Chain A
Amino acid sequence: MEFFHDVNIDFLGKKWYFLAFSLIFSVAGLFSMLFWHHIPWGVDFRGGTLVYVKFANPPDLGAIRTALDRAGLHDPKIQPYDQASLHEVLIDLDVRETSEKALDQGKQKIIQALESNVPANKIDLNNASSLAIKNFLMDKDPMHLGTDADQKYTAQAQAVASYRDKVLGGVFNSFDQLKGAPNVDPSVAAAIPDGFYLSDFGVFNVEIVGPQVGGQLRTQAGLATLYSLIGMLVYLGFRFEWIYGVAAVVTVFHDTLITVGAFSLTNTEISLTVIAAILTLIGYSNNDTIVVFDRIRENIKLMRREKLSEIVNRSINQTLSRTILTAGLTFLTVLALFLFGGEVLRGFSLALVIGILIGTYSSIAIAAPILVAYQDWRIEKGKRPVAMPGKAR
């Protein structure tokens, strides 16, 4: 089987179309970054509080908003999370709801606001830690244990908590469910309603980032991207000629700009893992560029008479089959990640999906034309083209 046999497309002849395409997307992204959505930093970078709540019944977002407003929280963002059937809600608080003294005050306020009709002297089983359950059991001693009580009740408490979290997905709907829990003693199941009540929600994930860390991380992410680009430039300059390094870095910068622009245009948050994806793309997009460059270097030796633009075109065509196949296969795996990898990895896989498309396009449409344009410019100025054959072979 073979998809590309003897293709001969004049890629360099279409460079103005490519330029227009790239300009439109870069400029649109840049405008969005500057004037519209700006850079939608995720909680890792801007600081703030994210509380993920699972409800026993379909959540009423309006009621949640009223409760949070009453608790005096500044402008909480409330949105459904993941599939609607899971009854999950993400509550997003501004960084103002954290303080140096009590980093988690926003989270505490949310939990208090959501708890309603709390019976006196009872603890919410859906938000109780296994330690709280154990302390209750130690007090109550439903199994009438003499010695060893500490260890046994710790195990019982853990069995209750893990049944709630791992089997029921975070919330008990009724105390009857306890009877079916593995490893939970019937006397414990019977005693628990005496000390606990059931709210209709459980917190299953919390992310709180103070303002200091956010700023620090933004600097680090910027530096990491910069160092990555410099690393590429140095390595390619060493392996090829410096102009190859420059062309590759400009290409990668173009890819990064368009990817970040796409996040800004769609207002998708850039988390730490998205930055990881972007750095991976810097490496990946370079792969494509290097494969084409390697072929150009090889062909320059073989085709001494031909014009550079001819050589470059031929090189792109020769490697086209490989470029499309690899990009296609990597894209396939990344697409699986995007479709089946779950909510947590959504931003990460989105960055990879966009980046792989752009990275493949740019190695053909940006990197090679820069190389040719530079040589044409040198010839026009009356200089000799830079010696092309690679020195490090």
Chain B
Amino acid sequence: MTKNLLWKLLFIVGIMLFFLFGIFGVPKGLSGSSLLAALTDHIHLGLDLSGGTHLILQVHVNDAVNVDAQNAIEILKEQLRSRKIDYSDISQPDPQNSPDHVVLKGIQPGARSDLLSIVQDHLPEYDLTGGAENTWNLSMKPSMLSDLKSKAVTQAIETIRNRIDQLGVSEPTIQEHGLGQYQILVQLPGVDDPGRVKDIMQSTAMLEIKQSLGGPFPSEQAALQDKGGVLPADSILLPGHAMPGTADEGQSWYLVSRVSAVSGKDLRDAQPSSDQNGQPSVSFTLTGEGGQRFYNFTSSHVGDSLAVVLDNKVQEVANIKEPIRDRGEISGGRMSDQQAKDLSMILRSGALPASISYLEERTVGPSLGADSIRSGVRAAVIGMVAVLIFMLVYYRGAGINADVALIFNLIILLGFLGWSTIAGVNVALTLPGIAGVILTVGMGVDSNVLIFERIREELRNGKTPPSAVDQGFSHAWITIVDTHVTTIVSAAILFIFGTGPVKGFATTLTFGLLANLFTAVFVSRVIFEWVLSRKQRGEALSI
């Protein structure tokens, strides 16, 4: 054996040890069960194999824009008032579809410079246009608008992650999904009943404390009648819980102030507790700044009522007996212990910047996952063994060579998956991923066949074994590169477009084919060289 060949062999052994470590780490023993345990530790299974829940959420980013625009309207009104400029109406003509668009009507003539300076100083993220017929248009700068929307998604992801972490789901995946459609992908391994998790994630948890101006009323009409047909300025009607004495589905309505004294942002903590009747409730404390505002509000409203509003629904109304600084309680609505616990957890994790809805929900039960592993592995083993046997029969001596290359290919592929877990990237093995492994075996053998057929051809043309091997490899190499590149291009496109299972398939296929370039060409060639080095000159090659 030449020194050069020895180095190549050592290199191959080194690579194999590296990837074997990726698969098994340092196993506790060499028995079948401890090897299997090491394997399952290192190879991260996709949701379709491990069982769990897969959700795609839509963030309604327009909600966040809406909040910003309403805030802008308030600022405008306040500024116009303080500069004593008259206006007839400031509102959003289409809050559903273009919430950032605000129209100012009936602005007193000659207020142009004032308006411009208000927008410049207080609303720098908006553009002001128009001016004809005393009507102005205010809309958000496009770059600010897309910033705000993507910020809403990032913030929603953070909030959802907080909540899921507190639920104790292990290894969840929470990430942006799709191509700029404001969607979030959530994968929860081991969760096979997503009902509660879904409710918790979806809850916007927007807590506000407002002044209660009247109610409860049995219906919206009744409230309007009570106020003489027109709601007082800066007040809104919100639904509350069922009124005592009415049917269960009958709702009550409250008239509350539009502005809130404090909101969820001012919360420091929330904990489950029980109210004076011993019913489950949630008590919360406010931050220093929020507490100061709450104190100012309550001290100037002693004798009035305040309403605790959660997600635009009045939870309870209480009389302000004395100024309150930093504590409050949410009770009423007949909460269960679990609900009180969940609500306090949701409040602690912060509010969602926008409402969300579910677009896709998949739950794989653990029994199906286990079945899929069994049948996938069975198909892989059968397919693999069939190919190995065929290569041995058809190519005899060289068949061993191909079989070694194939097995090495498999080790590198699985080792790659194992190393991804060690590195924390967690490339998951999915059911289509197992299919990708099988396909790699089928397609990987193609390179061997190409080379062997070429070597046979060269031998038939009368070349000596060493030069036939040399020619076979160099001619087949170009073809092998071409075929691999085209397949990897397909797989890469799949990787970009696919999710979950399909991504797993694209990954195993791509990496399997890359590994194949190494095993079918380099490893296989070294084996040939080694075999040839042990043969006498002129002795035939078994192929």
A residues contacting B by CB (< 8 A) are 1-2, 52, 54, 100-101, 103-104, 128-132, 135, 161-162, 165-166, 169-170, 202-210, 212-213, 216, 220-221, 223-224, 227-228, 231-232, 235-236, 239, 272-273, 275-276, 279-280, 282-284, 286-287, 290-291, 294, 298, 318-319, 321-322, 325-326, 329-337, 339-342, 344-345, 348-349, 352, 393
B357 x A333 contact (CB < 8 A): no
Stretch at the interface among B20-28, B240-248, B442-450: B442-450
Q: For residue B6, give the distance in angstroms from its CB to the closest CB of chain A.
A: 32
B494 x A208 contact (CB < 8 A): no
A290 x B482 contact (CB < 8 A): yes
Chain B CB within 10 Å, residue with most, of A276, A291, A348: A276
- For B51, the chain A residues whose CB sits under 8 A away are 165
Instruction: Give the interface SS of chain B, mostly helix, strand, loop or mixed.
Output: helix
Question: Which residue of chain A has the shortest Cβ distance to B504 in the bound complex?
Answer: A276
Question: Which residue of chain B has the shortest Cβ distance to A171 in the bound complex?
Answer: B367
- For B482, the chain A residues whose CB sits under 8 A away are 239, 290, 294
Q: For residue B394, give the distance in angstroms from its CB to the closest CB of chain A.
A: 5
Besides A336-B382, A340-B375, 17 other CB < 8 A contacts? Answer: A52-B368, A54-B367, A129-B192, A204-B367, A205-B365, A209-B359, A210-B359, A213-B56, A272-B501, A273-B501, A276-B506, A290-B483, A330-B443, A330-B445, A331-B442, A333-B383, A344-B48
Q: Does any Cβ of A come within 8 Å of B150's Cβ?
A: no
- For B362, the chain A residues whose CB sits under 8 A away are 206-208
- For B56, the chain A residues whose CB sits under 8 A away are 213
B449 x A273 contact (CB < 8 A): no
Q: For residue B223, give the distance in angstroms from its CB to the closest CB of chain A.
A: 25
Q: Does any Cβ of A come within 8 Å of B231's Cβ?
A: no
Question: Which residue of chain A has the shortest Cβ distance to B490 in the bound complex?
Answer: A283
Known pairs A131-B196, A208-B360, A279-B494; A330 contacts B366 (CB<8 A) = no
Stretch at the interface among B93-101, B281-289, B384-392: B384-392
CB interface residues, B 467-510, toward A, < 8 Å: 475, 478-479, 482-483, 485-491, 493-494, 496-498, 501-502, 505-506, 509
- For B490, the chain A residues whose CB sits under 8 A away are 228, 231, 279-280, 282-283
In this complex, the interface size class of chain B, counting residues with CB under 8 Å from chain A, is: 35 or more
A334 x B442 contact (CB < 8 A): yes
CB interface residues, B 367-426, toward A, < 8 Å: 367-368, 370-372, 374-376, 378-380, 382-384, 386-387, 390, 393-396
How far is B443's CA from A352's CA once the two chains are assembled, in angstroms? 12
Question: Which residue of chain B has the shortest Cβ distance to A86 in the bound complex?
Answer: B371
- For A166, the chain B residues whose CB sits under 8 A away are 366-367, 370
A224 x B435 contact (CB < 8 A): no
B445 x A216 contact (CB < 8 A): no
How far is B529's CA from A113's CA once the two chains are assembled, in angstroms? 70
Q: For residue B393, give the distance in angstroms from its CB to the closest CB of chain A.
A: 6
30 pairs of residues in contact across A and B, judged by CB atoms under 8 Å: A1-B393, A1-B394, A52-B368, A166-B366, A166-B370, A206-B363, A209-B360, A210-B360, A212-B58, A213-B56, A220-B497, A221-B497, A224-B493, A228-B493, A231-B489, A232-B486, A235-B486, A272-B502, A273-B501, A279-B494, A280-B491, A283-B490, A321-B453, A332-B442, A335-B383, A341-B375, A342-B371, A342-B375, A342-B376, A344-B368
B382 x A276 contact (CB < 8 A): no
Question: Which residue of chain B has the shortest Cβ distance to A226 in the bound complex?
Answer: B493
Q: Does any Cβ of A come within 8 Å of B107's Cβ?
A: no
How far is B443's CA from A161's CA once the two chains are assembled, in angstroms? 41
7 tightest A-B CB contacts, nearest first? A342-B375, A129-B193, A283-B487, A336-B383, A330-B442, A283-B490, A333-B383
Q: Does any Cβ of A come within 8 Å of B350's Cβ?
A: no
- For A239, the chain B residues whose CB sits under 8 A away are 482
- For B494, the chain A residues whose CB sits under 8 A away are 224, 276, 279-280
A170 x B365 contact (CB < 8 A): yes
Known pairs A203-B365, A344-B431; A330 contacts B478 (CB<8 A) = no
Question: Which residue of chain B has the shortest Cβ distance to A290 in the bound complex?
Answer: B482
How far is B193's CA from A130's CA once the two chains are assembled, in angstroms? 8
How far is B100's CA from A173's CA once the two chains are assembled, in angstroms? 58
**CB-contact partner of A337 in B58, B368, B383, B479, under 8 A:** B383
Known pairs A210-B358, A213-B360; A348 contacts B432 (CB<8 A) = yes
A205 x B363 contact (CB < 8 A): yes
Q: Does any Cβ of A come within 8 Å of B178's Cβ?
A: yes
B487 x A280 contact (CB < 8 A): yes
- For B488, the chain A residues whose CB sits under 8 A away are 283
Q: For residue B2, give the distance in angstroms from its CB to the closest CB of chain A.
A: 30
How far is B376's CA from A349's CA once the two chains are assembled, in angstroms? 11
**CB-contact partner of A283 in B192, B380, B431, B489, under 8 A:** B489
Question: Which residue of chain B has the shortest Cβ distance to A232 in the bound complex?
Answer: B486
How far is B502's CA from A180's CA once the two chains are assembled, in angstroms? 39
Question: Which residue of chain B has the shortest Cβ distance to A328 in the bound complex?
Answer: B390
How far is B509's CA from A321's CA once the two chains are assembled, in angstroms? 25
- For B376, the chain A residues whose CB sits under 8 A away are 341-342, 345
Question: Which residue of chain A has the shortest Cβ distance to B366 in the bound complex?
Answer: A165
How far is B457's CA from A131's CA once the two chains are assembled, in angstroms? 67
Question: Which residue of chain B has the shortest Cβ distance to A298 in the bound complex?
Answer: B475
Q: Does any Cβ of A come within 8 Å of B438's Cβ?
A: yes
Q: Does any Cβ of A come within 8 Å of B361's Cβ?
A: yes
How far is B502's CA from A60's CA once the two chains are assembled, in angstroms? 35
How far is B456's CA from A220's CA once the two chains are assembled, in angstroms? 45
Chain A CB within 10 Å, residue with most, of B196, B384, B446: B446
Q: For residue B172, give the distance in angstroms from its CB to the closest CB of chain A.
A: 16
- For A329, the chain B residues whose CB sits under 8 A away are 387, 390, 442, 445-446, 449
How far is B195's CA from A202's CA once the two chains are assembled, in angstroms? 16
A273 x B432 contact (CB < 8 A): yes
- For A273, the chain B residues whose CB sits under 8 A away are 432, 501-502, 505
Q: Does any Cβ of A come within 8 Å of B4's Cβ?
A: no
B486 x A345 contact (CB < 8 A): no
Q: For residue B288, give the distance in angstroms from its CB to the closest CB of chain A.
A: 34
- For B509, the chain A residues whose CB sits under 8 A away are 280
Q: Does any Cβ of A come within 8 Å of B201's Cβ?
A: no
A291 x B363 contact (CB < 8 A): no
Q: Does any Cβ of A come within 8 Å of B277's Cβ?
A: no
B435 x A212 contact (CB < 8 A): no
Q: Does any Cβ of A come within 8 Å of B338's Cβ?
A: yes
- For B193, the chain A residues whose CB sits under 8 A away are 128-132
Q: Does any Cβ of A come within 8 Å of B439's Cβ?
A: yes
A334 x B438 contact (CB < 8 A): yes
How far is B494's CA from A223's CA once the two chains are assembled, in angstroms? 11
- For B357, the chain A residues whose CB sits under 8 A away are 100-101, 103
A291 x B450 contact (CB < 8 A): yes
Q: For residue A77, give the distance in angstroms from its CB to the closest CB of chain B.
A: 18
Q: For residue B83, give the distance in angstroms from its CB to the closest CB of chain A.
A: 43
CB interface residues, B 173-219, toward A, < 8 Å: 178, 181, 192-193, 195-196
B453 x A322 contact (CB < 8 A): yes
Q: For residue A341, give the distance in angstroms from its CB to the closest CB of chain B.
A: 4
- For A330, the chain B residues whose CB sits under 8 A away are 439, 442-443, 445-446
A348 x B489 contact (CB < 8 A): no
- For A221, the chain B residues whose CB sits under 8 A away are 497
A332 x B449 contact (CB < 8 A): no
Chain A CB within 10 Å, residue with most, of B48, B196, B361: B361
A276 x B502 contact (CB < 8 A): yes
Question: Which residue of chain B has the shortest Cβ distance to A158 in the bound complex?
Answer: B190
B445 x A326 contact (CB < 8 A): yes
Q: Does any Cβ of A come within 8 Å of B364's Cβ?
A: yes
